[in-house]
Structure 1
């Protein structure tokens, strides 16, 4: 492969990020891509650093060994051989190129991969046919059948990722070489499937959001029209059935009529991200209504406590409402990433903090769990429980992370998200700047020259200090801070330039006005982070009688590695009424504070599969068990100390009458009330019983 012949074209500021609406139908506007810089000391900044130092080099190695580059070399006539991998393997390269483009914009002074990118663009151009078609699988295995098997071919899906990579490269480096290649392919699709062509859409949505972004970059209306056409046609059953039903492809009902998320989780979420992009440019209320309706279906009934989505290994799909089994959770990594994309677009459209809450939950739990601390090991599915003795021979549900997959969609997807994480931190309006994700770093507002320095150890500590640059101007716009849904507004405090201010939370946010008469320099929002016990919805049968522990936005898990020798994880329960507390740090996992709670160990190795009783028994109590303190790790850090059992949802054992409680000092108020707190957010671990109003009963 030869270096690129296309000279760099000076990028004109501002540099747009992954999602930059042209129209003003939305409530919020994203900042330029280079407006936010994350500190390497914070969780998100450290993640970006690991992505650059370990993940990206590893992904580049695997593009070579997996056959992705060889497929294109054969298509270009530069090598001989057979197609290797899944039919959509080209997209692994495209997502990697997008990640490298965002890295080039994030660290413009150090671009170690430009030679690789230039050579890859040259290879893609050589493999591209004269009519613009570029999809190595069809070119090598089924020439002459282009765009004729859209139900399963993934041709437009691959085009979508190619377009996103090209847009990112054009925005961050000013180079249009990849854009020229991608646009030629899009031209062909517009001719064949545009308003004057056949009616067709891809079985795997993704191209919709990419086409809208191409429109945003170029200003050519035809790309927005083509994206809208893809949305308008879907649901008419044009894809047919077999081997999967129409709902698998979201082809069972028109988008505007859909009432619940269904089918393949990643496809559904990518489609909804694209629909949100179309709505942002057209202002169509019917699309926004459908998006909100489907959000409530996903968020209210089909989302794991970690932010993962997709309950079934079969069809990689959503299940029924509240079908959320922890040990059989599929929760594909790409689905969590797609949720971030969709939530960001909903946040821009509506300005509602609940979408930022969902982004935060997913970005501190489900998504980072998918990449190991070594940056070279990954998960495809993300269970919330791994049983002792689990057979992890299948790469779709292994006993730990793997360095690659036969279907390798997730690692390069993680890379492109991590490289652009900072783009999701803040937004602006004409009169305010909004902080949505709390991370140490710097936020620049180019319109007025404001520079905000954020100091925080979030998500481990709830103190967030936002200070205007001491050498610059004070706040010019109002500052809007999100008060997360997990936080108790009554316990939170706000100070402005050292003076306490009443915390007036409205719609999940607090506004600090910029006052020319009394210029604001420093704002401190303090969100206490007690450990709380979460109890599941009564219809979530798989985890009935269990609790999950959360501290701030972080969900915690119990690992076999933290239990005494001889103690099997399945034999451990949390003591009802126990107050979960902060625990010791785990420096090896990058965790500065832990979580601990009183538990009990009752071996069940010799117990029969079931026991008979003449009456319905009470839940098991701790009598006869051995007290022990359970120490948990963040869910996102599980599996970094070798294989072993893990669970997020922990069974609860009742503190039986007359049973001494060795941990009473940890929770002196346990058992003091007749009724516990809300069944969804409890300060202590309740008994696994619920009253008719859904509250836990002691």
Structure 2
């Protein structure tokens, strides 16, 4: 049964999608693979942690106030219901993988019952507005998040329906969705926080009920027409300054913008609206051409959690919200399905291995909300908006349950099919079972990716299958079965007679490399970063000699980089760091303490720099870190 579960995004047969996602159970990660480890940690640590904190932090009590089970004030954010729904979605996807988890099933069933009990007779459901602000229901959509919360409820219900659990949740979500259609189908209103659009499309895909899709399309066409009150941060913050079809730059609150664009692609492929898809392409070019960090993070401004100007990418002040990286992953997945172009899978990989993976500690129970690329010496990390280390929870707790739902469904993003073909986008050890043109296909993948670029795929099928293997943009000189890969749109296609089982070997060269920033990124001019394969690396204070200040370190970009296998905790590093990089550099402390005195650079004492993957930083003692390292002074 689990092998037939549809994943989070499943376009209808009539949609103009180039690729088709696999069933969620089609891919099984090897337990000792990085993805397999993440999924096990998510199931055993992160998801139970989220369930616990929904109770202790008050999100469930907010709903219990509606039902009369508890008294007191509403706790934390007025949109905390969404944290409940994201955790329910994560639980549904996990139950699709491990249906015998009695404890998780009990959480889903009891919470779905609570949500049903809190729903009003007409279908409305929002704990804050039902109890505290009933007179403002639907009245202040620029900040209320009513439709945003509804969107996450709908996505949880879709997951429950596809996993075959929580039937009561599906009933609740459809009653609310029907009310929303009745209320908004003929009025010019939109929500200040996009999310409902992509949720309604997926509910349409689940049920076939056309009004859900029509309303999603209507919300997109109303966006950007000045309907929202932008008194605090202005209309750009709400993407209400220009119609979606006319926009030529991503702007404002990053998560809002990216969730909106996910909905744009969903509506575009289901309604065959090429103009909408072209708008998404245009905005993608702006986002990834001038407003994305090396790690795949987006959002350079803390004040309004927003995109900055082109090339405004300060590493120390990076907001890089975890939810923004997840939203970017989701948007790129939809663009990949719509077009089949490998550049979107490249961005999925970059965000996943760096910005998304780095947000969670190795214990699975501590998280970053913002993800800087530089933590300064002396940084005041006392506030949760910019802490020095990961925290167990936040007053705005959107990120932990968002991570839980993504990782629980991660197997659904690895590969796709089209007529006569199978495409592999993300590499990991494990097995894949699907059908292509009615024939069973079995793929066994052996690899230590991302630590090693060798990927062996043994394919068995009776069909005339074309196997398309993504060749990442960083992989110069990729080989397929020892011959140079012939790459088109980011993929190398392999055609064989697979009936007896054939092993294809992909070799992606992974030399350590120096990355130089665009010269218009003023904040890191004169700096370089180091990377290997899909992983961005960083230098932590913990790997520097005693008495050395991280800001005094310089790197020699002309010197060779060395790759070494870490010796685990014996070297003072987390054991989950199989590969470290070593660079040559120097120490160049300031010549005086004058803040604006002359400090001519001079070659300093040589120093060896050890770099670890960015996603693993902060798992030792709290201390400074940087991705972009100043270049050594030439004597």
TM-score range, shorter chain: over 0.9
Equivalence for 1:672: none
Structure 1, 12-21 or 603-612: larger mean CA deviation: 603-612
Please, which of 604, 608, 612 is the counterpart of residue 633 of structure 1?
Answer: 612
What secondary structure is seen at the aligned counterpart in 1 of 2:227? coil
Give the RMSD, CA atoms, in angstroms.
1.5
- Are positions 1:203 and 2:192 aligned together? yes
Q: 1:144 is paired with a residue of what secondary structure?
A: helix
Closer, same or farther: CA 529–239 of 1 in aligned 2, 3 Å: same
In structure 2, C-alpha distance between the alignment counterparts of 1:21 and 1:42, rounded to whole Å: 29
How many residue pairs get aligned? The number is: 627
CA distance in 2, matches of 1:646, 1:138: 43
Matched with 1:432 is: 421
Residue aligned with 2:55, SS: helix
Q: In the alignment, is residue 652 of structure 1 matched against residue 631 of structure 2?
A: yes
Are the counterparts in 2 of residues 589 and 640 from structure 1 also a CA contact under 8 Å?
A: no
Residue 571 of structure 2: aligned partner: none
Task: Give the structure 1 partner of residue 553 of structure 2.
Answer: 572
Output the CA distance in 1 between the equivalents of 2:217 and 2:242: 16
In 1, distance between residues paired with 2:315 and 2:484? Answer: 41
1:643 aligns with 2:629: no
TM alignment of 1:577-616, pairs within 5 A: 577-585=558-566, 587=568, 588-604=574-590, 606-612=592-598
Deviation at 1:475, TM superposition (A): 6.4
Contact 1:583 1:594 in 2 (8 A): yes
Moved more, 476-485 or 110-119: 110-119
Match of 1:123 among 109, 114, 117: 114
1:14 to partner: Cα distance: 3.1
TM-score (norm 2): 0.96
3-state DSSP of counterpart to 2:480: strand
Corresponding residue number in structure 2 for 1:21: 11
The answer to whether 1:313 aligns with 2:313 is no
1:484 is aligned to: 472
Q: Which secondary structure state, in structure 2, belongs to the residue aligned with residue 548 of structure 1?
A: strand
Distance across 2 between alignment mates of 1:280 and 1:107: 32
Structure 1 residues not aligned, in runs of 5+: 1-10, 657-698
Q: Does 1:163 align with 2:154?
A: yes
**Which stretch shows the higher mean deviation, 104-113 or 642-651?**
104-113
Task: Go from structure 1 to structure 2 and tell me whether the alpha carbon gap of 1:501 and 1:565 turns closer, same or farther (over 3 Å shift).
Answer: closer
- Residues 23-74 of structure 1: CA deviation (Å, up to 9, x unaligned): 2301100011111111121111111111011101111111011110111001
Partner SS state of residue 163, structure 1: helix
Tell me which of 51, 57, 65 is aligned to 2:48.
57
Per-residue deviation at 1:610? 2.9
Q: 1:218 and 1:383 mapped to 2: Cα distance?
A: 41
- How far apart in 1 are the matches of 2:576 and 2:173? 40
Looking at CA atoms only, which structure, 1 or 2, has the larger radius of gyration? 1
Task: After superposition, give the CA deviation of every residue in 1:591-639 in whole Å (9 maximum; x if it has no partner).
Answer: 11111100111222744223449xxx7xx342xx211110011000000
Report the equivalent of 2:342.
Answer: 353
Residue 348 of structure 1, CA deviation: 0.3
Contact 1:589 1:637 in 2 (8 A): no
SS of aligned partner of 2:439:
coil
Alignment of 1:278-297 (within 5 A): 278-297=267-286
TM-score w.r.t. structure 1 length? Answer: 0.88
Partner of 1:189, secondary structure, is helix
Alignment-derived partner of residue 85 in structure 1: 76
CA distance in 2, matches of 1:140, 1:606: 61
Secondary structure at the aligned position of 2:631 is classed as: strand
1:653-693 Cα shifts (integer Å, max 9, x gaps): 1342xxxxxxxxxxxxxxxxxxxxxxxxxxxxxxxxxxxxx
| Counterpart position of 1:494 | 480
CA deviations on 1:174-221 (whole Å, 9 max, x unpaired) are: 5421010111111111111013xx221110000100000000000000
- Counterpart of 1:278 in 2: which secondary structure? helix
- The structural deviation recorded for 1:111 is 4.6
Using the alignment, how far apart are the partners of 1:235 and 1:298 within structure 2? 18
| Conserved? CA contact 2:2–2:97, under 8 Å | no
Q: Which of the pair is proportionally richer in helix? A: 2
SS in 1 for 2:538: strand
CA offsets per residue over residues 242-262 of structure 1, 9 Å max, x none? 112011010000000000000
Q: Distance in 2 between matches of 1:549 and 1:557?
A: 7
The corresponding residue for 2:539 is 558
| Greater alpha carbon shift after TM alignment, 431-440 vs 568-577 | 568-577
1:675-694 aligned at under 5 Å gives the runs: none
Report SS of the residue matched to 1:577.
coil
Alignment of 1:328-347 (within 5 A): 328-347=317-336
Partner of 1:664: none
1: distance between equivalents of 2:166 and 2:66? 24
Q: What displacement does 1:15 show?
A: 1.7
91, 96, 104: which one aligns with 1:113: 104
SS at match of 1:262: coil
What do residues 439-484 of structure 1 show as CA deviations (whole Å, max 9, x unaligned)?
Answer: 1111111342111011111111000110125xxx466411000110
Q: Identify the match of residue 453 of structure 2 among 454, 462, 470.
A: 462
